Structure 1
Amino acid sequence: MKNRKSSKLLALGLVFALGLGLSTAFAAVSVAPATTKVTVDGKNASVEAYNIDNGNNYFKLRDFAANLDFGLTWDAATDTAAIDTTTHYKPDATQLITGNWAPATRARIQAVIDENAGKGRYVVFDFDNTSVIFDVQEALLVYQTENLIFKIAPEDMEAVLETGIPDLDKEMGKSIDGKTVTPATLVADLVSDYTWIYNNYSGMKGDKDLAYIHASNEYQDFAAKLRFMYNNLGDYFDHAVSYPWVTYLFTGMTPEEVQELATASHEYWAGYGRYASETWTSPIELPGETGIVSASYTTGVTFTDELVDLYHTLMANDIDVYIISASPIDTILAANECMGYGVPEDQVFAMRNKLDENGRYINEYDYDWGGEGMYAQTQGEGKSTIITNFIAPKYDGAGPLIVFGDSAGDWNMMTDWMKSGDTVLGVIFNRYRKPSSDPIWEGSNEAAQTIGDADARFVLQGRDENKGQLRPSEYSILLGQTEEVLVRPAS
């Protein structure tokens, strides 16, 4: 509904202006059905109304909530109705809100929920670009960089940045001014920049405020090249190198400090209000060994009502919910907590680093968490390994009922238990993936051909990246575009 917020406020005004207290209604001598007509956005609405002979009119608040789509709860213990204009109307905790779900996708998810409620099943969610629109860790990297929240000593930064990179001299393209870019050249420039920042910024060892630091060539070079390195490690090396690399920037922090940082980032970007691609370019005055580079990132994230409600609806049907994410564990735990997903902490799996004797992170992945060698990287095939080692044993070895994902990193866990019949549905958030580089295209293509089928194995959910919200369609609108798209052609 357009202008949903103003419509909700209008509903509240109507409720109070018409004197709708229950005590007034019951105190009346006689009550008769009313012929009052109510319209919403110019259309007739189904609202039950009564005339009371003391001059008041009575409407059911639930009817207004349903027509204007605002949250409504009832506390029997205190005999109190509560209105929440920040949530959707939900008549039954076991049923999904309509929201912006694609109708066929919502119907298929709800059907699987209804059929399996209370049967001891579980589902698995990816987080970035699935449970949230856009990537919370990529957004956190921008927030961390802009606010210079690091606990790494300058003399340790080189080792941190080089962690896990098998070939520091591998070419990663050319700079804008024609230099060969390698991990080694990037690390050299980043260490130099960081050392200057560390010695000058008042939040570290210096006496200059953040505005002064932001205006410096050293900061601008550091921001652009750090982001460039993050963006390109995934293209030039295996994901087993690139995914854990960003977690090493938390070296020296406690888990509590990372969660505090992540919470601040989530709340900042959730309220940012603009979804766009921005670019950092390093200054020509400080080319360094790497030269001049540019790196892009996306602003804003959305923790949608539909997904938060989906989590809660599954739980209300006694279907257990797990998260397996390629982002760092504290980033996901912070989002789970501050944005109200409500998943128990021991049912969240994500990238984990080892802690030192003082409880601070070091730049080493913790493959031994939960058992020697059992904790795989939580991406790609590793997500299925996590299910096999940590989740399935709680359910007599059974795989997940539904898997929710968006890309290649989710394809294994979405399909590995389909042949056995354990996984009956893969829900794909439509990012218009390429068949040449992302196997989830196969599921997207099948979903596009089976829209509305009662036994569809895959369903698509569209989103509008320019607005940061889901669309009531399988078609998506990509960031910076205006035309809706479904599935890329096979060739």
Structure 2
Amino acid sequence: MNFKKKTRIAIVLLALFALLLPSLSLADTAPKTLQAVFSEMQLVINGQESTKITPIVYKDRTYLPVRYFSEKLGYKVDWDETTSTIFVTSTPEEISKNIPIMDTGKWAPATLNRLQKFIDENGIKSPNYDPKHKPYAVFDWDQTCIFNDTQEELFRYQIKNLVFNMTPEEFATAIRYDVPKDDFSSEYNNLEGQPVNIEKIGADLDERYKFLYDNYIFLKDKDAAKLAKIQETEEFKDFQAKLAYLYEAIGGTFSANVSYPWVLYLFTGMTTQEAQALTEESNDVALGEKIEYYTLTSSSKLPGKAGVVTGEYKRGLRIAPEMSNLMNVLRGNGIDVYICSASLEDVVEVFAGLPKYGYNVPPENVIGMRLEKDTDGKFKTEYKKDYPQTQQEGKTAAIQQILVSKYGYGPAFVAGDSQGDYNMATDFEETQLVLIINRVRKLSDKITILAQKAIESLNDPNAKYVLQGRNENYGLFIPQESTIRYGNKEAELIRSN
């Protein structure tokens, strides 16, 4: 807006508030009279000269009709004669200008189009949108919203940096908690082909932890030099390799009900604040690391009862900007966003919530695994009572317990990548769209059932299941449904076995 006049003009008009507020209600309780003169000044609104209106000048102030000025700027004006109230509101056209749409990014085109269609049909653009009956979306976190697993990366970072708040006795309890005494699966035999179980490897880890506790963990004046020195010992090398191996062996032998909470018990003795500070450190280091696999082998000089064991592990994390954009666009369209993860709730809150990572999910919208705490607010070696493990069927149970009880209905949208997400993707009749991050899982993984349905409905504008591919060598999306698995150069849509 520009008034072409050499002297400065102060404009006082009711419509100005319409630029600042979505709606405006102004009432005049009593009629007023004033003496004014018509001005001969020129009026230009948004670069367009107006000749149909003559401003009124009163005591060096310029007045314009509310309706004329507001409607020129795209606002609707209504008058309530009974209350002498002027209502100035944004028009649908003006509102739509401020509603975000998805960035193209590296989405598979058909997947992008289906997602945008879902948003348009369910968000505030839709004539059927009801803010009192808001749709909501539920995302898995690890390998869905990010590349790789924040909990597993943290687990190995914790080991490498020896960040534990347990006494040797507490550590011994934590690593054995709820773990069956049976031998691990044969693929986890030691390098001599002998079976390993929790009693054998537990005894070795007890000894190593006691050494590390006395010589570093329990010290009050720890520093980088002392950490580097302890990391050179055979005791540390054996401890690091065997504890990392133990997590894999438990997960590869026993049910998820055993392995998923087991890794969390290593936070015993920490407060939420301590665990979250450690998580942020781990995230930031991993985001700067190369995506690769590496091997840890236990000490041949200290074979102990378990013998020498070895394992291969993933390194590195990546933010998925397409997923953070999707979350932000959903919120901008009036669709609530939640996370339901099999990682510790407090851990996911860090990555999902800190502004520097871009996802902007508030902590109250993160649903994850939980531990009991003592009277000092420190984690205990005990899973939260009367609360489901948020993996597989437990994700559905947690959504029902927390979200369905709040909204009265299930999620309209679900995103996941693995068998652990199958139940929440299929258990709610209200779910209209399921996004599957294509990890080219084995046919035995139940998420492959949904991937196959997505393949069968490729380019269907109303598909219920859609796929998104990645290049696992770099941890980034690629604009297709197929995925390039780590170490490969060719993309695959689905496996044959």
Query: Shorter-chain-normalised TM-score: which range?
Result: 0.7 to 0.9
Matched residue SS, 1:460: strand
2:385 aligned with 1:379: no
Q: Map 1:396-475; keep pairs closer than 5 Å.
A: 396=408, 398-417=409-428, 420=429, 422-436=430-444, 438-475=445-482
Asked if 1 retains the 8 angstrom alpha-carbon contact of 2:438 and 2:467, the reply is yes
2:203 aligned with 1:196: no
Q: Map 1:152-171; keep pairs closer than 5 Å.
A: 152-165=166-179, 167-171=180-184
Match of 1:221 in 2: 238
**Compared CA separation, residues 454 and 316, structure 1 to 2 (3 A):** same
Asked if 1 retains the 8 angstrom alpha-carbon contact of 2:105 and 2:322, the reply is yes
Matched residue SS, 1:150: coil
2:346 aligned with 1:340: no
Amino acid corresponding to residue 437 of structure 2 in structure 1: F
**Compared CA separation, residues 92 and 294, structure 1 to 2 (3 A):** farther
Asked if 1 retains the 8 angstrom alpha-carbon contact of 2:137 and 2:335, the reply is yes
C-alpha distance in 2 between matches for 1:427 and 1:297: 27
Amino acid corresponding to residue 464 of structure 1 in structure 2: N
Asked if 2 retains the 8 angstrom alpha-carbon contact of 1:202 and 1:209, the reply is no
C-alpha distance in 2 between matches for 1:203 and 1:342: 37
Amino acid corresponding to residue 143 of structure 1 in structure 2: Y
1:481 Cα offset (Å): 1.3
Match of 1:244 in 2: 261
1:238 Cα offset (Å): 0.6
Match for residue 361 of structure 1 among 376, 379, 383? 379
C-alpha distance in 2 between matches for 1:284 and 1:348: 43
Amino acid corresponding to residue 284 of structure 1 in structure 2: S
Stretches of structure 2 lacking an aligned partner (at least 5 in a row): 1-96
2:497 aligned with 1:486: no
C-alpha distance in 1 between matches for 2:184 and 2:465: 39
C-alpha distance in 2 between matches for 1:376 and 1:434: 27
Match of 1:116 in 2: 122
Asked if 2 retains the 8 angstrom alpha-carbon contact of 1:117 and 1:317, the reply is yes
Amino acid corresponding to residue 295 of structure 1 in structure 2: G
1:202 Cα offset (Å): 6.4
**Compared CA separation, residues 138 and 202, structure 1 to 2 (3 A):** closer
Match for residue 370 of structure 2 among 324, 341, 352? 352
Match of 2:291 in 1: 275
C-alpha distance in 2 between matches for 1:206 and 1:196: 17
Percent identity between the two aligned chains:
40
Q: Map 1:78-227; keep pairs closer than 5 Å.
A: 94-118=100-124, 119=129, 120-165=134-179, 167-173=180-186, 174-201=189-216, 204=219, 209-227=226-244
1:94 Cα offset (Å): 1.9
Residue deviations 1:133-160, cap 9 Å, x none?
1111111112111111110111221111
1:458 Cα offset (Å): 0.6
**TM-score, normalising length: structure 1:** 0.77
**TM-score, normalising length: structure 2:** 0.76
Which shows bigger deviation, 138-147 or 240-249? 138-147
C-alpha distance in 2 between matches for 1:376 and 1:189: 32
Residue deviations 1:236-257, cap 9 Å, x none?
1010000000000000000000
Stretches of structure 1 lacking an aligned partner (at least 5 in a row): 1-90, 368-372
1:304 Cα offset (Å): 1.6
Asked if 2 retains the 8 angstrom alpha-carbon contact of 1:311 and 1:341, the reply is yes
Q: Map 1:303-314; keep pairs closer than 5 Å.
A: 303-314=319-330
Residue deviations 1:281-305, cap 9 Å, x none?
0111111110111112111111121
1:177 Cα offset (Å): 2.1
Q: Which has the larger radius of gyration?
A: 2
Matched residue SS, 2:343: strand
C-alpha distance in 2 between matches for 1:125 and 1:206: 42
Asked if 2 retains the 8 angstrom alpha-carbon contact of 1:172 and 1:182, the reply is no
Asked if 1 retains the 8 angstrom alpha-carbon contact of 2:349 and 2:362, the reply is no
How large is the Cα RMSD of the aligned pairs? 1.7
C-alpha distance in 1 between matches for 2:294 and 2:217: 27
State the 4+ residue runs in structure 1 displaced beyond 4 angstroms: 205-208
**Compared CA separation, residues 413 and 199, structure 1 to 2 (3 A):** same
Match for residue 326 of structure 1 among 322, 342, 347? 342
1:204 Cα offset (Å): 3.3
Asked if 1 retains the 8 angstrom alpha-carbon contact of 2:164 and 2:217, the reply is no
1:344 Cα offset (Å): 2.1
Matched residue SS, 2:195: coil
